Chains A and B, each alone.
Chain A
């Protein structure tokens, strides 16, 4: 083989070796650099939309897929620094009707980054752009309930979710329970009764019945205790029996508990209690 003919394969091998070496050096240099630099220059979705040439939804897909890979790497420096930018400013601007990035973005913000308010801001944006998508309001409501223990706010979100005709029944139950959690037993009883009346399965009917049962007792006991207190304050002594409250015009009638048993009354102490047991775990004072 002449020298000239050898030159070509040798050149090829040398070029391949050079490319391989330079690539490994480049990889090393890139891994040493802060990974957040990947997103440092990602412009807002408003501007990216201009460059999408009629395909902003595909651009949103690509950035969403990239974000999944990026946030799957737990070693990234400044992992959460650009979280709001990527999901709130880029993907949701490129495709405001893209539901998954709102849910996944909020999940990363809340569970991983611990910034619940940022997650709610993203979900609020999604709800604004997609009022018919119950899942966004449900997600926000569940976050308020589970992480923030902010029951009034959670009830508000569940109410928004229920405006969608596709909203699953479980949201009605959560909505009703939020009022119980915030101490508004009467409203909770009202909503739980609706769930019970309109239940389509035995399971839901049974769950709703337990809540209605216990809430009914709690509401009745609260009414009776208030009436006994008012009676005692006015007459200086507790009533002889519960019927005395009706005669005094403090209650319209003496209620029976949901199982049809009368409430037990101790005239010496003025204490009233239910003879039926609670179906669910309740505070001993109730």
Chain B
């Protein structure tokens, strides 16, 4: 209950920060791009509009997760409101989870509204394909994970450093497959082992990326979506647990 109250408060705070203006930007981008592209391209208009739509949902979401997420905990510490909170009968895990869930609610609204605009445009053009839903679902799972990482860094670092770390995490998450290539090239068993270990430990955000498949109308098996979602959610839980452990060890007095 306390966690939910924290979450609701975080949600209201984000709305007050006019975060939903992003949605307006998204709608303009979507409508504008579909008009503009018909002038610039030869064929492929449908594919390009779908690509831009999915990429925008993903990038606007990641931007929100990072730039709002990194300030959530730090702001409470800097404004010293955290003193009031920790002196009340609220567990630190509830504090972290409340902040996290509040931001997830913001992201859920963002993704839902952006998807609504996106699908409405596709329906109007006659390009709607139900397969796109699995890409949107996995984008949301990716946002869950990126938000958790932002909260993790926010629990012990400054917003600037936290955003830098989270962006780095996002980049590594999309390039972790390179470690397998590296493992084939490096000499020595130990180096190969390290590469493979890092590949297993680091998050694989490409596992949550089916955008390239769905825009071409290719089927993404349901079990792939489910396993990818389970992977993302499990990784998110791990990161949140680590965040709580770090936050519990912090001394505010």
Interface residues of A in 1-56 (CB under 8 A from B): 50, 53-56
Least distance between A259 CB and chain B CB atoms (Å): 46
Partner of A57, one of B37, B51, B178: B51
Chain A residues positioned under 8 Å from B216 (CB to CB):
97-98
Interface residues of B in 145-184 (CB under 8 A from A): 170-171, 174-175, 178
- Quick check: is A68 within 8 A (CB to CB) of the other chain? yes
Q: Mark A109-141, 1 if CB is under 8 A from B, else 0.
A: 000000000000000000000000000000000
Interface residues of B in 36-53 (CB under 8 A from A): 37, 40-44, 47-48, 51-52
Measured CB to CB, the nearest residue on chain A to B213 is A97
- Quick check: is B55 within 8 A (CB to CB) of the other chain? yes
- Quick check: is B99 within 8 A (CB to CB) of the other chain? no
- Quick check: is A93 within 8 A (CB to CB) of the other chain? no
Say whether A65 contacts B211, CB under 8 Å: no
- Quick check: is A61 within 8 A (CB to CB) of the other chain? yes
- Quick check: is A90 within 8 A (CB to CB) of the other chain? no
Chain B residues positioned under 8 Å from A101 (CB to CB):
44
Task: Count contacts on B: residues with CB < 8 A to the other chain.
Answer: 27
- Quick check: is B58 within 8 A (CB to CB) of the other chain? yes
Chain A residues positioned under 8 Å from B55 (CB to CB):
55, 57-58
Say whether A100 contacts B174, CB under 8 Å: no
- Quick check: is B66 within 8 A (CB to CB) of the other chain? no
**Interchain CA distance A55-B42 in the complex, whole Å:** 21
- Quick check: is B206 within 8 A (CB to CB) of the other chain? yes
Measured CB to CB, the nearest residue on chain A to B167 is A53
- Quick check: is B12 within 8 A (CB to CB) of the other chain? no
Count, A-B residue pairs, CB within 8 A: 59
Main secondary structure of the interface of A (DSSP, over half): helix
Measured CB to CB, the nearest residue on chain B to A94 is B212
Say whether B47 contacts A98, CB under 8 Å: yes
- Quick check: is A177 within 8 A (CB to CB) of the other chain? no
Partner of B212, one of A53, A95, A100: A95
Main secondary structure of the interface of B (DSSP, over half): helix
Say whether B206 contacts A61, CB under 8 Å: no
Say whether A54 contacts B209, CB under 8 Å: yes
Q: Mark B205-236, 1 if CB is under 8 A from A, else 0.
A: 11001011101101000000000000000000
Say whether B43 contacts A53, CB under 8 Å: no
Say whether B48 contacts A53, CB under 8 Å: no
Chain B residues positioned under 8 Å from A252 (CB to CB):
none
**Interchain CA distance A100-B216 in the complex, whole Å:** 11
Least distance between B185 CB and chain A CB atoms (Å): 14
Q: Say whether, besides A54-B206, A54-B209, A69 and B51 are in contact (CB < 8 Å).
A: no
Report which residue of A54, A68, A98 has the largest number of chain B beta carbons within 10 angstroms of its beta carbon. A54
Q: Say whether, besides A50-B175, A56-B212, A100 and B43 are in contact (CB < 8 Å).
A: yes
Partner of B174, one of A53, A65, A68: A53
Say whether B211 contacts A100, CB under 8 Å: no
**Interchain CA distance A103-B43 in the complex, whole Å:** 10
Q: Mark A140-153, 1 if CB is under 8 A from B, else 0.
A: 00000000000000
Sample of 28 A–B contacts (CB below 8 Å): A50-B178, A53-B171, A53-B175, A54-B205, A54-B206, A54-B211, A55-B55, A56-B212, A57-B55, A57-B215, A58-B51, A61-B44, A61-B51, A61-B52, A64-B48, A65-B37, A65-B40, A65-B48, A68-B40, A68-B41, A69-B40, A97-B212, A97-B216, A100-B42, A100-B43, A100-B44, A101-B44, A104-B42
- Excluding A50-B178, A65-B40, 10 further A-B contacts by CB distance (< 8 Å) are A54-B58, A54-B174, A54-B211, A57-B211, A57-B212, A58-B55, A69-B40, A100-B44, A103-B43, A104-B42
